[in-house]
Amino acid sequence: MYFLAFVLSCFGSSVLADDYSRSLYLDPNKTYHLSWKFNKSHIEFHTEVKTLGYVMLGLSTDGNLKNADVFFAGVSNGQPYSSNYYGNSDGKLSLQSISEWHLMYSNESNMETTLTFSRELSGPNMKMNITQNTMRVLWGYGKTDMINENFQLDGVKSLYLLEDQLPEPEMPNDAFHIQFRMNKTRIPNSETTYWCKSFETPQLDEQVHAIAFSPDIQKGHKDFVHHMIVYGCYGNTEKGNNNRHEGECYLGSMLIHWRYCTEVVFGWAVGGEKFVLPKHTGMSFGGKDDPVYYLLEMHYDNPQEKEGVLDSSGIDITLTKSKRQYNVGILSVGYTVRGCTQLIPPYAKEFKYYGNCEACGSMIKPERNNQWNEDGVKMIGVLLHAHKAAKKIRLHHYRDGKKLPDIMYDDNYDFDYQDLRRIEKEITLLKDDILQVECVYGTTDRTNFTEGGFSTKHEMCQAYIMHYPEIKLKRCTSGLNFDHKLIGTNLQYKNNQSAVKKMELIVNGLEPEVGFIQTCVNKTSRIEYMNQTFPVIKSDDPTTQQPPTTEKNSAAKFFVKTGMIFISISYWLI
């Protein structure tokens, strides 16, 4: 099983700013309301803030004032004012002589300041570009119009600024709902718990389509429920269907049959919203090839280790008998999740792992016989997933030895803000295409190795690709074919980025001795191709971030010197 998380903005939208495609309150007390819209060149913000002092909005890649682009504006004695600051390396703000921001409207009344301002998205001389990456929106306001040197932020919010929200779609008349929910589950009094519960496939007379998935979080439990994933389970049907069995996931006590829950059906994470499938697609439920039962995985956060909290949160699924044209599926690609195959050294500024999907092409074909005459299938959404050490994740796409544009990327990855993001213009995936997930980790704040694994202390590197028609391939991952826990653990990584680099070369196969295992999983079985070497595809595209091949020889020497030991890993049965 794999876990993933989907996140969106937390607060309800307002009807106050109808002209804007996106809007939300930045704080739970609803003092700062932000709306915005964008076109190809500009973004236009509209703020309504309960203050008669200044209003501040800033943009940053990591949530700090350092290198942030900050705009202050307000109304003083009936006159509008505005200024643009930039965050110096010490976090102090310096006034810019030319403002990137343009105040278009201001009004102060009824204890509230209303502003409209715009900014170019990007430009060669801009210190901060607004991109598809997760932007950290910095916000604050003052009681007065005095902008103080020791300005403190009121908050930071991660947002995908350049993503339009789809209008609430019309639901068919025959729409009905099922819920996969906990039933007064006692949240353990530990910081992080993965709790699993299985559900029978609902009694349906015929195959139907799921067209929307909504989080159903118990009131007041937003702080406890970090993410939820629904898996589809196949195989071993008699024993597997332990309806409504529940317990902690990934422990020895976990039901052995839950290993058959290999297909991600849907995922959600903190603050997320409803996910609605495109009009021509639906996810099949109740058909003969559909999951035999389902598993709901809850990731509970309980940092204060509160006792006796009972939770009944879950996922609500909207279904219809008016079937859509195509079945959607989710393919997960990335680095194999096993503690012993992924290891990230401490003190690394940037440490890359690549998860490849190359040898599973025979399974990239429509799962069912629906009249699909095109070559390949269409990708419509991607969720990039890693844990707290991840800084960047990119999903690369190669065809005939050439690099195509990245299918999805986020260079400002935020673990607490993940979402299944729509691909605006559907992208074709052909049978012989190569997919590669690149994860860049930063561990400068860690003093020991970080291993791969499902817990948030461990790391993952995955992309979940929503596509249609549904293909046979469910999971396609690569991982080193030896336990490399023992290599490089005797190196001093502190103050030594070259040691970090050497380790990176090894784990990415720039070593003759190193091979990968390519794992291809369909609904019922897995195939493993041993000793794969994934060619490093050369490209002119500057967004391709490949480890430099020139260090190959020194890495090879290092390899021998440290006396690497091959340990074969025993695999889980599927």
Ligand X SMILES: *[C@@H]1O[C@H](CO)[C@@H](O)[C@H](O)[C@H]1NC(C)=O
Binding residues for ligand X (CB under 6 A):
27, 29, 39, 41-42, 44, 107, 109-110, 118, 122-124, 126-127, 129, 183, 448-449, 451, 472, 485, 489, 491-492, 496, 498-499, 502, 515, 522-525, 527, 530-531
**DSSP-assigned letters across all residues of 98-165:** S-SEEEEEEEEETTEEEEEEEEES--TT-SS---SSPEEEEEEE-SSS---TT---SEEEEE-TT-PP
160 versus 558: smaller Cβ distance to ligand X: 558
Q: Is 441 a catalytic residue?
A: no
Q: What tokens does 395 get?
A: 């999903």
36 versus 354: smaller Cβ distance to ligand X: 36
Q: Is 194 a catalytic residue?
A: yes
Inter-residue contact 210 to 180 (CB < 8 Å): no
Give the integer Cα–Cα distance in Å for 81 and 151.
17
Inter-residue contact 459 to 387 (CB < 8 Å): yes
Helix (H) or strand (E) holding 556: helix 552-561
Report the DSSP pairing between strands 329-335 and 475-480. Answer: parallel
> What one-letter code names the amino acid at 252?
G
Residue 470 CB, nearest approach to ligand X (Å)? 11
Catalytic member of 385, 396, 467, 484: 385
Residue 495 CB, nearest approach to ligand X (Å)? 7
39 versus 152: smaller Cβ distance to ligand X: 39
List phi, psi (to 5°) of 550.
-65, -25
383 versus 500: smaller Cβ distance to ligand X: 500
Residue 49 CB, nearest approach to ligand X (Å)? 13
Residue 422 CB, nearest approach to ligand X (Å)? 22
195 versus 398: smaller Cβ distance to ligand X: 195
Residue 155 CB, nearest approach to ligand X (Å)? 8
Closest to 408 in 3D by CA, of 463, 364, 353, 474: 463
Give the integer Cα–Cα distance in Å for 33 and 27.
8
Give the integer Cα–Cα distance in Å for 67 and 263.
41
Tokens 């091949």 locate to 549
User: How many residues are given for the chain?
Assistant: 574
How close are the terminal C-alpha atoms of the chain, in Å? 9
Closest to 480 in 3D by CA, of 574, 390, 356, 331: 356
Closest to 283 in 3D by CA, of 236, 318, 251: 318
Catalytic member of 54, 85, 194, 417: 194
237 versus 525: smaller Cβ distance to ligand X: 525
150 versus 492: smaller Cβ distance to ligand X: 492
Residue 169 CB, nearest approach to ligand X (Å)? 26
250 versus 426: smaller Cβ distance to ligand X: 250
Residue 278 CB, nearest approach to ligand X (Å)? 25
Question: What long-range pairs does 253-258 form, CB within 8 A, spacing at least 24?
Answer: 254/196, 255/198, 257/233, 258/1, 258/196, 258/198, 258/233, 258/295
Tokens 């849907």 locate to 266
Give the integer Cα–Cα distance in Å for 285 and 384.
25
Residue 322 CB, nearest approach to ligand X (Å)? 27
SS3 399: strand
Catalytic residues: 194, 385
